[in-house]
Amino acid sequence: QVQLMESGGDSVQAGGSLRLTCQVSGYTHNNDCLGWFRQAPGKERALVANVYWNGGARYYIESVKGRFDLAPDNTRGTLTLQMNNLKPEDTGIYYCAARPRTSKCVEAAGSEAFQYWGQGTQVIVSS
């Protein structure tokens, strides 16, 4: 079992920054895939970025490349998502998710591929 708890969501103006933190606990492994998803109003939950729990290459969706930075820290049990130059289209509920002991990570994936989820944290970006 893996437990995930997100924090850091807030309301900001376009161009601003936020740092989301996912506290990861439970029975984790280096080859767990950890990711952030977001659900915009009226839309399905979609992947933003993912990475193996022990670090290495990251996958980002095209619209956040160069603006978002994903940082796993398995010694502290945190997965942070630094979000810079935020845009109104970044608005949504952000969820931390885990896909245990997998060879499939650092690539696009749907929410159905991830087994464990946090409760989400809301991000609102106003223009």
pLDDT tens for the chain, 127 residues long, are 999 999 999 999 999 999 999 999 998 999 999 999 999 999 999 999 999 999 999 999 999 999 999 999 989 999 999 999 999 999 999 999 999 999 999 999 999 999 999 999 999 999 9
Which tokens belong to 63?
């619209």
Give the per-residue pLDDT at 116: 97
Cα–Cα distance measured from residue 79 to residue 69, given in angstroms and rounded to the nearest whole number: 10
What is the 3-state composition of the chain as percent helix, strand, coil, each rounded to the nearest 5?
5, 50, 45
SS3 120: coil
Cα–Cα distance measured from residue 107 to residue 109, given in angstroms and rounded to the nearest whole number: 6
Give the per-residue pLDDT at 120: 98
Give the per-residue pLDDT at 102: 93
